[in-house]
Amino acid sequence: MPPTAPLLAACLLLACPFAAPAQRLLHWGAAAPATPATPATPTGDDWLQLERTSGGYVAWVRNPLPGPVQVRLRGEGLQGYESVPALPAESVLGAGERRALARLYRIADTSGPLGLAVDAVPGRPDPLPDGQLYRLPFAGVAVRIDQGYEGRFSHLDPANRYALDFALPEGTPVLAAREGTVLQVEGHFGGAGDAAAGGQANLVRVLHRDGTMAIYAHLAPTGIAVRPGQWVQAGQRLALSGQTGFSTAPHLHFAIQVNAGLRLAAIPFRIAGPLGELRFPHDEDTPATTAAP
C-alpha cells in the first residue's frame, strides 16, 4: 500500500483585508489520500505569515522542516490586491529559512477574501542520486514481498511506482536503510483504516546526502524512536512495523523518492540482503513472494 501523499499545502484565508485569519488549513499531498497533518506536523501558520504594511501585505514563507524544501506561493482569489511579483512564485528554502516571496498591494476596496496557498515539496529539485546499495530496513526476518515495483494494487502513481511492500510481523524493528537526516515523523495514528485518521499511516522520512529520501510507512502507533532533525546511521532503529493506514495486512512500505520539481517521484533503487543484492519483479501482485538474491 502507498504511504500517504507527500506534498505539503498550507492555505491561509483572510475574511477581509485587515481581519484576523478566518481559516487555516494544512494538508499534505497533491492527490488523495493526503499525508496527515498532525500535532508534530507544522501548521499553516508555520509556513505562511502575512506582515501588514501601509499599502497591503508582505507574504513570508518559512520552512519549518529540518531540511530543504521547494515552495510555491499561489493566489486563491486575490480580490482587490495585486501581487509583485505575479503569483505563483517559487523558491527553494533551506532548513528553517524564512523568505518574503511577494508583496500584495491593495488596489481596490473590497470585502472579499485575501486567499493565499503554499505548496511545498521536501528536498531540493536537483538531486543527484548516487546509486548507493541500500541495506534491508529490517533484520532477522525472511524477505517477503506483498507488492513490488509498479504493483497494480497501489504502486502506479509517480510517488509510489518503485515502492516495495515488505511483509513483516507487527512489532518488527524498522531500521534505517542508509544514513541521513530525519525529515518527517508521523506517529499518532491508530490501526489499519482508522476512520478518525482517514486511513492515514504513520511514517518516517529520511533525507540522504545525495538528495534522495527514504520513506518508511505503515508503522506501529508506538515505537517510533527518532525525531525530526536527528541524524541516523544505517542500521539504526527508526520505529516498529505495523498496519496503520490503508493496509490489508501488516507490512512495511519502503520507497526512495526525489523532488521531481514540486512533486515527489519514486525512483528505482538497489538493496542488499544477507546473501547479496536482491532482485525484485515488476508488477508483483502475488502476496508474500520471496525475493531472490
Q: How far apart are CA 39 and CA 171, in angstroms?
A: 24
Work out the number of other CB atoms within 10 angstroms of the CB of residue 81.
23
Q: In which residue ranges of the chain is pLDDT below 50? A: 3-43, 150, 193-199, 284-289, 292-293
**Identity of the amino acid at 235:** G
Predicted pLDDT of residue 103: 95
Predicted pLDDT of residue 221: 85
Q: How far apart are CA 81 and CA 256, in angstroms?
A: 41
Contact 73, 87 (CB under 8 A): yes
Q: What is the DSSP letter of 87?
A: S
CA torsion sign, 220 to 136 to 268 to 183?
positive
Contact 123, 213 (CB under 8 A): yes
Helix (H, G, I), strand (E, B) or coil at 24: strand
Task: Cell 511483509: give the residue.
Answer: 167
Q: Spell out the SS3 assignment of 53-73.
A: ECCEEEEEEECCCCCCEEEEE
Q: Does domain 133-290 have CATH number 3.40.50.720?
A: no
Domain ranges of the chain: 8-122, 133-290
Q: How far apart are CA 215 and CA 254, in angstroms?
A: 6
Q: How far apart are CA 206 and CA 67, in angstroms?
A: 10
Instruction: Give 2's contacts (C-beta < 8 A, 6+ positions apart).
Output: 154, 155, 157, 159, 160, 163, 217, 246, 253
Q: How far apart are CA 243 and CA 24, in angstroms?
A: 30
Mind listing the pLDDT tens digit for each residue in 270-287? Answer: 999 888 898 766 554 444
**pTM, full prediction:** 0.78
C-alpha cell at 214: 527514504
Predicted pLDDT of residue 17: 23
CATH of 8-122, one of 3.30.300, 3.30.70, 2.60.40, 3.40.50: 2.60.40
Instruction: Give 125's contacts (C-beta < 8 A, 6+ positions apart).
Output: 70, 92, 259, 260, 261, 262
Predicted pLDDT of residue 179: 98
Work out the number of other CB atoms within 10 angstroms of the CB of residue 200.
27
Instruction: Give 283's contacts (C-beta < 8 A, 6+ positions apart).
Output: 148, 149, 150, 151, 152
Predicted pLDDT of residue 247: 57
Predicted pLDDT of residue 274: 85
**Identity of the amino acid at 288:** A
Contact 165, 2 (CB under 8 A): no
C-alpha cell at 104: 500584495
